[in-house]
């Protein structure tokens, strides 16, 4: 299937690890030039250098801040004259109770999951309009619609991101900019492995067994997705082959969502 992505330019937040890195590699394989944003400059530069065949610009920035989002958008503008694709992917899980979490913690996740997307839309949509259109994808989570009870702040801010995606889609569709959202289930990224190792260190270290148990409990498919399985779907949504997909949220969750 010809995806029609060659020589497009994509900005990917959180492009140095996990799903974001897999999306970066997937888009690069289709000939898309990349602007990758993340905080840890060393890891970002190492991963950016390993992507071959396209131009890759690593931008060390914190997209949860006004300055970081502005720097990322400005870098795309300066190097490529804007972007055709924006993947709002940077994010992190949380662990708290509503009764105990302070306002400051809510603010951190609101800035990371919602305001980064708001500010990057404002920063990059004008360039997409100039270029004749574009694609914006939000990587929310199954937790936006089916909460995991230990992470209320994550659930709430990802739900807000999903609604932002829907609302933005209507505002910019007339500019030939398609906006969609993806809700992944369990995706085997380095953080899951790290946590599983920490949880099992005192009980024999069977971290793979722990992850298998998590998958069996939550996902009818009984395994985690690879980051590449999610990335392939996102790359398709970025492409001309998905030209009628607007304002939707797509589950990629191995059957984890319990509702229709
Ligand atoms: P990883 O922890 O593997 O990667 C997160 C990426 O985001 C890293 O590149 C990280 O780099 C970057 N990042 C985090 N905070 C910021 C920030 N403030 N500014 C800029 N970059 C930032 O995560 P995953 O691949 O697992 O997750 C990616 C997205 O997918 C997240 O939004 C997550 O909520 C979502 N998701 C993940 C699922 C899973 O099971 N893994 C399931 C459903 C959704 P650095 O730390 O250097 O900034």
61 is written with which tokens?
Answer: 């920035």
Catalytic residue among 109, 150, 154, 250: 154
* 216 plus 235 within the same structural domain: no
Evaluate whether residue 258 is within a structural domain.
no
CA dihedral 219, 221, 223, 224 (to 10 degrees): -70
Whose alpha carbon is nearest atom 7 of ligand 1? 14
For ligand 1, the distance from its centroid to the CA atom of residue 111, given in whole angstroms, is 14
* 154 plus 94 within the same structural domain: yes
The torsion region of residue 182 among left (phi > 0), alpha (psi -120 to 50) and beta comes to beta
The model's pLDDT over 201-218, given as tens digits with 9 standing for 90+, comes to 999 999 999 999 999 999
Evaluate whether residue 239 is within a structural domain.
yes
* 138 plus 213 within the same structural domain: no
* 243 plus 210 within the same structural domain: no
Whose alpha carbon is nearest atom 23 of ligand 1? 18
The model's pLDDT over 71-97, given as tens digits with 9 standing for 90+, comes to 999 999 999 999 999 999 999 999 999
**Pocket of ligand 1, candidates 11, 13, 36, 38: which has the most ligand atoms within 8 Å of its Cβ, to mutate?**
38
Domain extent, residue 33, equals 9-187+226-252
Neighbours of 89 (CB within 10 A): 30
* 101 plus 198 within the same structural domain: no
The model's pLDDT over 146-194, given as tens digits with 9 standing for 90+, comes to 999 999 999 999 999 999 999 999 999 999 999 999 999 999 999 999 9
Sheet architecture: strand order including 56-60? 56-60, 33-38, 9-13, 85-88, 134-139, 177-184, 249-252
* Ligand 1 contact, 184 CB (< 6 A): yes
Please list the helix, strand and coil fractions of the chain in percent, rounded to the nearest 5, in that order.
50, 15, 35
Rounded mean pLDDT of 117-136?
98
* 28 plus 94 within the same structural domain: yes
* 180 plus 233 within the same structural domain: yes
* 218 plus 124 within the same structural domain: no
* 102 plus 174 within the same structural domain: yes
**Domain total of the chain:** 2
Give residue 176's pLDDT: 98
* 114 plus 154 within the same structural domain: yes
Beta strands 249-252 and 177-184 are parallel
Neighbours of 112 (CB within 10 A): 22
Evaluate whether residue 1 is within a structural domain.
no
**Share above pLDDT 70 across residues of the chain, in percent, rounded to a whole number:** 100
DSSP 202: G
> The CATH number of the domain where 74 resides is what?
3.40.50.720
In the residue annotation, 109 being an active-site residue is answered as no
**Rounded to an integer, what distance in angstroms lies between the CA atom of residue 75 and that of residue 80?**
8
pLDDT-derived band at 98, boundaries 50, 70, 90: very high
Give residue 127's pLDDT: 98
């Amino acid at each position: 299937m010809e995806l029609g992505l060659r020589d497009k330019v994509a900005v990917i937040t959180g492009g140095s690890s996990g799903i974001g890195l897999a999306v970066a590699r997937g888009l690069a394989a289709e000939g898309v030039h990349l602007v990758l944003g993340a905080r840890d400059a060393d890891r970002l530069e190492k991963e950016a250098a390993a992507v071959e065949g396209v131009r890759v610009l690593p931008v060390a920035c914190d997209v949860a801040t006004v300055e970081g989002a502005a720097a990322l958008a400005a870098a795309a503008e300066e190097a490529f004259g804007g972007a055709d694709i924006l993947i709002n992917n940077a994010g992190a899980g949380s662990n708290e109770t509503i009764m105990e979490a302070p306002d400051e913690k809510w603010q951190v996740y609101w800035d990371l999951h919602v305001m980064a997307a708001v500010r990057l839309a404002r920063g990059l949509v004008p360039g997409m309009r100039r270029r004749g259109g574009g694609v914006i994808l939000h990587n929310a989570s199954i937790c936006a619609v089916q909460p995991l009870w230990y992470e209320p702040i994550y659930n709430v801010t990802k739900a807000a991101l999903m609604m932002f995606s829907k609302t933005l889609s209507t505002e910019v569709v007339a500019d030939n900019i398609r906006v969609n959202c993806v809700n992944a289930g369990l995706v085997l990224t380095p953080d899951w492995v790290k946590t599983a190792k920490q949880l099992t260190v005192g009980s024999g270290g069977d971290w793979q067994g722990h992850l298998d148990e998590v998958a069996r409990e939550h996902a009818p498919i009984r395994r985690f997705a690879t980051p590449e399985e999610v990335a392939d779907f996102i790359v398709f949504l970025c492409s001309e082959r998905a030209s009628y997909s607007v304002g939707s949220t797509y589950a990629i969750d191995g059957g984890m969502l319990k509702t229709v």
